[in-house]
Amino acid sequence: MLNQAPVHWYGDEHEHTSAKGWRKSAHALIAWIERLSFAMAALAAVMCILLAGLTTILVIFGAFNLIHNGFEELKWHLCGALFLLSGAFCFERNAHVRVDTFYARFSPKVKAMVDAVGIVLFVWPLAIAICYYGLLLTTDAFVHSEASNDAGGLPWRWVIKSVIPIGFLLLFMQSVAVFLRALLCICADKEAVHD
C-alpha cells in the first residue's frame, strides 16, 4: 500500500521545522521531489491493476487459442514501465536492495556519508548515462517509426523506450533528494555550533 508519510533516513523527523537558509531550500526541494516520486508510484500502482486485468484477459484468450501479440507485448510494456517508474519511490523509501552487513551498525552521520559517496560515485553516473543513451534510443525509434516485428504487435515502440530515460531521470532526481538529506545530516552538528 502506498503511504505518503515521509521517510526519515537519518532521524531528521523534526529538523525541517527550524530550517534556515539553504537548509530550508533543500527541504523544499526534497519535499517536491518526493511528491513527484509518490505520484509516479501511484501511477505504477494503477499499472499493476491494469497488468492484472490484462493478464486475466490473456489467460482467458489463451484458453480459447485467441492469443493476440499486441496484448502480450502490452503486458510486457506495462511491466517494464511499472518497474522503471516506481524505482525512485523505492529509493525514497529506502526499500531498495542494500547489503546491510556493516551499514546497519553505522551511526546516522556515517550512514549519510556512505549514502552521499555512493550516490555521487555510482547512482549519478549510471543514471546520467542511461538517461542519455535511453534518450538516443527513444529518438532513434521515433525518427524511424520503429514498431513491433510481430504480426499484430504494437506500433510506436518509442513510447515504451521513452520510459527508460524518464525512469532514470526520476531516479536521478530522487538521488538528489537523498543526497541533500544526507548533506543535511552531515552538516547538522557543524551548523548548530555556528548558529
Mean pLDDT computed over 98-124: 91
CB 171 within 8 A of CB 127: yes
Q: What is the CA radius of gyration of the chain?
A: 21
pLDDT at 12: 54
pLDDT at 189: 61
Is the pLDDT assigned to residue 18 strictly greater than 80?
no
Pairwise CA distance, residues 187 & 117, whole Å: 15
Helix axis angle for 108-118 and 157-194, nearest 10°, is 140
Other Cβ atoms closer than 10 A to 33: 20
Q: In the chain, where does DSSP find H-type helix? A: 22-63, 69-92, 108-118, 124-143, 157-194
Asked whether residue 79 is assigned to any structural domain, the reply reads yes
Pairwise CA distance, residues 39 & 11, whole Å: 24
Label residue 192 by pLDDT band (50, 70, 90).
very low
Asked whether residue 1 is assigned to any structural domain, the reply reads no
The structure's pTM equals 0.84
What is each CA distance from 176 to 34, 133, 151, in whole angstroms? 10, 20, 43
Asked whether residue 168 is assigned to any structural domain, the reply reads yes
Contact residues for 185 (Cβ-Cβ < 8 A; gap 6+): 9, 10, 12, 108, 109, 112
Asked whether residue 66 is assigned to any structural domain, the reply reads yes
Asked whether residue 26 is assigned to any structural domain, the reply reads yes
Pairwise CA distance, residues 54 & 181, whole Å: 39
pLDDT at 74: 87
Asked whether residue 46 is assigned to any structural domain, the reply reads yes
Pairwise CA distance, residues 161 & 80, whole Å: 10
pLDDT at 153: 80
Asked whether residue 92 is assigned to any structural domain, the reply reads yes
Parent domain of 154? 21-194
Mean pLDDT computed over 92-110: 85
What is each CA distance from 36 to 3, 55, 104, 122, in whole angstroms? 14, 28, 28, 22
pLDDT at 20: 73
Asked whether residue 7 is assigned to any structural domain, the reply reads no
Label residue 84 by pLDDT band (50, 70, 90).
very high
pLDDT at 41: 94
Domain count, the chain: 1
Pairwise CA distance, residues 3 & 19, whole Å: 25
pLDDT at 132: 98
